[in-house]
Structure 1
């Protein structure tokens, strides 16, 4: 009987941990993210990062982007896109080209840089992005960062 109770407790614990660990989806394919954002009528959050070398990017990730507050906010408000510029890991050539094009389009000069954009289609049916605003690292953790993000997304 003790074994049965222990097995049941372990099973429940594992199930709860699996549920709790369901993380946000960070898209890397702009076309896919664009389509999802259009379908769900949400703006894109474009995170320009140097994931394996940028100290401020890592700090932003740890203090904001990996928090429960951000996770809840993001699920309700945006479609997440990571546009990475790593130094030690290799990205697929197609992804490198896409990320550089986005970097030029949004005139990103430093990292981390987060831009918010609304997907739109032109009269000719071409894809377009309407810039809503941008931010980077904000002192004060997730609460302060989310205040800035809400001001951008809600205006």
Structure 2
């Protein structure tokens, strides 16, 4: 019985570590460069990380799961655009996040936009592929919706 319990703890621990391996970028310029090189779209996660209950729930139920980690590494470059109330941010990050919020018409949190950056005349444009938010049903339901958005634009 002890061996079973230890094995179960090791397996669950390794799954948690996989989910924590994800890199969430906060600098759009860097994330855009990575997106262009990898030919993967950007997943823009608009959140109120320290106050938005639905954002915290989306993180817990989907974005911090091993299923999401596996999917994200294969399909997207992750960008967190946070609008915290208690956590300090640099003025540059605040400005960047507000501009993106306005450009994409984000009116509530959580909102997740999938975009493809393109450059025209030296200016980066974001081709909107689609958006989503919190989806009940855990990671499988959320990932099915995300796959649907990404497949439409291929």
Aligned-residue offset at 1:125: 2.5
- Aligned residue among 122, 125, 131 for 2:122: 125
Equivalences for residues 48-87 of structure 1 within 5 A: 48-87=46-85
Name the SS of the counterpart of 2:40 in structure 1: coil
Structure 2 gaps, min length 5: 1-9
1:6-155 pair list within 5 angstroms: 20=17, 23-122=21-120, 124-155=121-152
Aligned length: 139
Which of the two has higher C-alpha Rg? 1
State TM-score, norm by structure 2: 0.87
The alpha carbon displacement at 1:154 in A equals: 1.2
Superposed displacement of residue 41, structure 1 = 0.2
Q: Within 1, Cα distance between the matches of 2:125 and 2:40?
A: 14
The alignment partner of 2:113 has SS state of strand
Runs of 4+ in 1 over 2 A off after TM superposition: none
TM-score by length of 1: 0.86
Gaps of 5+ in 1: 1-12
- For the residue of structure 2 that corresponds to 1:53, the secondary structure is coil
